[in-house]
A and B are shown apart, each in its own frame.
Chain A
Amino acid sequence: DQQVKQNSPSLSVQEGRISILNCDYTNSMFDYFLWYKKYPAEGPTFLISISSIKDKNEDGRFTVFLNKSAKHLSLHIVPSQPGDSAVYFCAAISNSGYALNFGKGTSLLVTP
């Protein structure tokens, strides 16, 4: 049972524009939501997270928005750069949990 869903397998964006990656979840017990970035032949690298008590968290070019009532979060990358091309995974975990629950990932391609 997939508790975290990323419904867009791929996304292509021009350099300099905004990239918006979306994620939906079904488990209302999740307290933390994370985005990981993965390059081929490497492990996932932590990008940014948000606690369920917040609705927005920013870190440089990356902003994550959380809409708890809709059980939806999104990652905004502004401006997008070619080096951002990677697979992005959304993950969620409850406060007392130990397992990260991942979506299937969205492959982002930023073209010059």
Chain B
Amino acid sequence: ETGVTQSPTHLIKTRGQQVTLRCSSQSGHNTVSWYQQALGQGPQFIFQYYREEENGRGNFPPRFSGLQFPNYSSELNVNALELDDSALYLCASSLERWRSYEQYFGPGTRLTVT
């Protein structure tokens, strides 16, 4: 059984640029959630996708957007990058949206905005 994978591992971008992060969910999981973990903080929920539809969103501006594909993999897009967007971005998958209490995390993508 393949776990959650994320790419790239690390990324450096300049303020104002756009970035796309990718996530492959664990085999058989149709729900993907994205979290942002700033230095010294716990992960903060960005949004969740279930069967290609956004199922819920945290307190993040619209320049954070996402997609989920028919194979349940997902992308996180961030436009107009700001310095405060520097963080570890974590993807988590769960078997079904109503089993969000069981979320399995990938290793994360470390984004640095300069």
List residues of chain A with CB under 8 Å of any chain B CB: 4, 6, 31-32, 34, 36, 41-46, 49, 89, 91, 93, 95-105
Contacts and interface: CB of A to CB of B under 8 A. Distances in A.
B56 A98 contact: yes
Contacts of B6: 43
Interface of B: 4, 6, 31, 33, 35, 40-45, 48, 55-56, 58, 90, 92, 97-98, 100-108
A93 B108 contact: no
Given A6-B42, A98-B97, 17 more contacts: A42-B108, A43-B106, A44-B43, A44-B105, A45-B105, A46-B102, A46-B104, A93-B100, A95-B101, A98-B100, A99-B33, A99-B48, A100-B100, A101-B45, A102-B43, A103-B42, A104-B42
B103 A100 contact: yes
Contact of A43 (B58, B90, B100): B90
Contacts of B108: 42-43
Nearest to A93: B101
Of A98, A102, A105, the most chain B CB neighbours within 10 A belong to A98
Contacts of B98: 96
Given A42-B107, A43-B107, A44-B90, A97 B42 contact: no
B43 A97 contact: no
Nearest to B107: A43
A46 B55 CA distance: 23
A24 to B, nearest CB: 13
Given A44-B105, A45-B105, A100 B43 contact: yes
B100 A97 contact: yes
